[in-house]
Amino acid sequence: MDDRSRNSSEAQAHATNIDHTLKELQRKVREYEAQLNELRSAELETPSTAAGQAQLLKAAFDDVTNSEPFLPFPGSVLPALLALRKTHQTIQESKAFLASQTESTEREQRQLKQDEAALKDHQLLNEALKQRIESLRNEVESGTNTQPEDEARKRIEELRRKKQGYNKETSKLMKALNRFIDDHLAVMLAAEALGGPVVGDLIDIDAQDLAAGFNAQGKLKKPKGEINKDKSQRRIDEIWGPSDGDGAGSGKKTKPRDAASAAGTEMRQLTEELLNRLVEAKGSSSDAYVKLPHETAAARFLIRSKVAQFHPRDATKIRLVDFGRELDD
């Protein structure tokens, strides 16, 4: 009961203070309105001259100077209301400022992360350089008794061994490439050139199956009776050209080629030409292109495999992708 009565008395006192404050403000408003009406009436009575207006302004300034400033009575809630309004205004301005600074804060945080990553890279580079300097210093200290000629001879011998190793690896890779072309790729290239599916879509196919040909849907035809070998050989010669031993000036009779061997030969020749042109270009991308006499299945396969690429302005030229140069850059 005591708490309820205390809360009730506090609420009543607060309401009374608000009522007194409101009445005081209304009284001051009425006083200002009365003074304003007096000034308006005096302005109407005074002639509209510069001297009359100056006299009115002087009277108004004197009245304001001599009047006591308005102060709320003790216990008024007006100071608290003004403080509350100012606090609310400050909070709203602070929120707006924080919202405006969010984007710049995020930008600074991203920049800070980039700077931290760059600093880490520089530290790792500095550590690597220190280790390299230390290893070079150790080499100099350990080789003080050796002659420069011996050191040069040792370097040359090391480079010679590396070159021999690279040549062996290149020979192994070329042999593996030729085996892959003869055993797997040649048949699929021939099938694509004869109107069949692209390389990779038909895996289980044999060289003898190519003689039957493919239908309009790219599917292998079923052989019907004996296949016309002369017609098949003419089609092979039309696509891949005659074999090296054919021609009027040749006194030799060569064995007729099948489609798989012709496609494999074309693939090896194109690969060899691309490699030689890349080496001869010596880093010049514009000189590494090979001119294609016509579009071939071998060229399409190299393009699809991302091994070669077309010239940006001439679709009849291709070159190998220089992977080593891209890594060096």
- Cα gap 301→189, rounded to integer Å: 8
Q: Which residue has the higher pLDDT, 134 or 48?
A: 134
The least confident of 118-127, 139-148, 150-159, 317-326 is 139-148
Mean pLDDT, all residues of the chain:
76
Looking at the predicted structure, is the pLDDT value of residue 252 above 60? no
- Cα gap 115→126, rounded to integer Å: 16
**Greatest mean pLDDT range, 7-21, 199-213, 229-243:** 7-21
- Cα gap 48→60, rounded to integer Å: 16
Cα–Cα–Cα angle for 87, 90, 96, nearest 5°?
A: 145
Looking at the predicted structure, is the pLDDT value of residue 211 above 70? no
The least confident of 22-31, 170-179, 303-312 is 22-31
pLDDT tens-digit profile of 94-103? 988 888 888 8
Position of tokens 């693939």?
267
Q: How confident is the model at residue 217 (pLDDT cuts 50, 70, 90)?
A: low
- Cα gap 219→14, rounded to integer Å: 97
Q: Which residue has the higher pLDDT, 288 or 247?
A: 288
The predicted structure's pLDDT at residue 128: 92
What contacts 53, CB < 8 A, 6 or more positions away? 46
Q: How confident is the model at residue 264 (pLDDT cuts 50, 70, 90)?
A: confident
Q: How confident is the model at residue 254 (pLDDT cuts 50, 70, 90)?
A: very low
Task: Report the amino acid identity of residue 179.
Answer: R
The predicted structure's pLDDT at residue 78: 74
- Cα gap 292→306, rounded to integer Å: 17
Dig out the tokens for 285 from the structure: 């991308």
Q: What string of H, E and C letters represents the secondary structure of the chain?
A: CHHHHHHHHHHHHHHHHHHHHHHHHHHHHHHHHHHHHHHHHHHHHCCCCHHHHHHHHHHHHHHHHHCCCCCCCCCCCHHHHHHHHHHHHHHHHHHHHHHHHHHHHHHHHHHHHHHHHHHHHHHHHHHHHHHHHHHHHHHHHHCCCCCHHHHHHHHHHHHHHHHHHHHHHHHHHHHHHHHHHHHHHHHHHHHHHCCCCCCCCCCCCCHHHHHHCECCCCCECCCCCCCCHHHHHHHHHHHHCCCCCCCCCCCCCCCCCCHHHHHHHHHHHHHHHHHHHHHHHCCCHHHCCEECCCCCHHHHHHHHCCCEEECCCCCCEEEECCHHHHHHC
Cβ 309 vs Cβ 317: under 8 Å: no
Report the pLDDT averaged over residues 211-224: 59
Cβ 280 vs Cβ 287: under 8 Å: yes
pLDDT tens-digit profile of 165-197? 999 998 999 899 888 888 888 888 877 777 777
| CA distance to 22, 38, 98, per residue, from 85 (Å) | 17, 33, 20
pLDDT tens-digit profile of 47-57? 556 666 677 67
Instruction: Name the pTM for this structure.
Output: 0.45
Dig out the tokens for 57 from the structure: 């302004």
Percentage of the chain lying above the pLDDT 90 cut: 12
What contacts 296, CB < 8 A, 6 or more positions away? 193, 266, 270
Report the pLDDT averaged over residues 60-80: 71
